[in-house]
Amino acid sequence: MEVEAREERSVFLRGWGDYQRYSLKLTESELPGLGHLAFRAWSPSALARRVAAIERTGLGLGWIEGDLGHGPAYRFTDPDGHPLELYYESERYEPPPELRPALKNVPQRYVGRGAAVKRLDHVNLLAKDVAANREFAQHQLGFRLYEQIVDEDGGERGAWMSLTIAAHELIYVADHAGAAGRLHHFAFFVDTREEVLRAADLCLDAAVPIEAAPSKHAIAQGMFLYVYEPGGNRVEVTTGTHFIYDPAYPPVVWTEAERARGQAWGVKTIETFHTYGTPDVSGRATGPPIPPTSRIPGLPDATVV
């Protein structure tokens, strides 16, 4: 990713396909986790409508002047307590001379450095009550539900939602620890499966802990790689998810028995994928538990799955 700006204890980063100035703000903190998640409204009037809908729930916190690259933002939480923001005014990215692309319909030159992620793809949040958060996202924020997991008793265990034709942009999954307001992972998009494989090779050489090697999800059909960044947050590199063109698309419902079969193909989902989130409920910021079976002999700080 490119460093777009620095400000006190924060650094602002962007993928080469992000049209706004940045998609990730990293801030120094004692514990890993989500500082806030911000959504851009379609228009000023859409922003006003969404704010009014949120205020009726009692979850609104009020307006702030804004942040680097965007104007006034309305702060609120979802029913689980995740810190969220809505805004409309935004600065479009203007590349410096060395990053100007040859084609005028892309925001930045492709540099091919590291995993070379293109853009932020989606965010997955852990929730104590998936149904309550899913309903809030649908009714107050305007998300469409595309896929979900429902257990034998009718309880919702996961919800995959989007504001666009993308298979998912916001996900809620049940927090097995029973905690509230935690992060499962955030995901960045690359154009090809080969780039996901390349990212895995780069992480191996850089001693970045790999939780799940490149494989294919059944839900949304995306190719994935899951790793842990140095602060302890889970990060996904992904590609290949499908698009939903049907305006009357009926949500796909998966049972827990169907999900227990595992991914579409590839590695078996390990326990930490279901049990670990940030901040860690133990209160430690030492990073996630890496399965002993994934450690490379002679390289105690490197992992491979």
Q: Would the pLDDT of 139 be above 50? A: yes
> How many structural domains is the chain composed of?
1
Q: Which position has the higher pLDDT, 286 or 26?
A: 26
Q: Would the pLDDT of 292 be above 60? A: no
Name the average pLDDT for the chain. 92
User: How do 119-127 and 170-174 pair as beta strands?
Assistant: parallel
Can you tell me the mean pLDDT for 201-209?
Answer: 95
- Residue 293: what pLDDT? 33
Q: Would the pLDDT of 295 be above 60? A: no
User: How do 156-162 and 170-174 pair as beta strands?
Assistant: antiparallel
Contact yes or no for 150/156 (Cβ under 8 A):
yes
Which residue range forms the structural domain that includes residue 167? 2-303
Q: Would the pLDDT of 171 be above 50? A: yes
Query: What tokens were used for 303?
Result: 């992992």
Q: Which amino acid is at 288?
A: P
Other CB atoms within 10 A of residue 147 CB: 21
What residues contact 137, with CB distance under 8 A and at least 6 apart? 78, 143, 159, 161, 170, 172
Q: Which residue in 112, 279, 293 sits closest to 210, CA to CA?
A: 293
Integer Cα distance of 302 and 305 in angstroms: 11
Query: What tokens were used for 6?
Result: 């620095």
Q: Would the pLDDT of 284 be above 60? A: no
Q: Would the pLDDT of 169 be above 90? A: yes
Can you tell me the mean pLDDT for 143-169?
Answer: 97
Confidence of residue 297 (pLDDT cuts 50, 70, 90): very low
Integer Cα distance of 127 and 144 in angstroms: 18
Record the pTM: 0.91
The CATH number assigned to the domain holding 144 equals 3.10.180.10
Can you tell me the mean pLDDT for 31-51?
Answer: 97
Q: Would the pLDDT of 79 be above 70? A: yes
Q: Which residue in 119, 63, 52 sits closest to 89, CA to CA?
A: 63
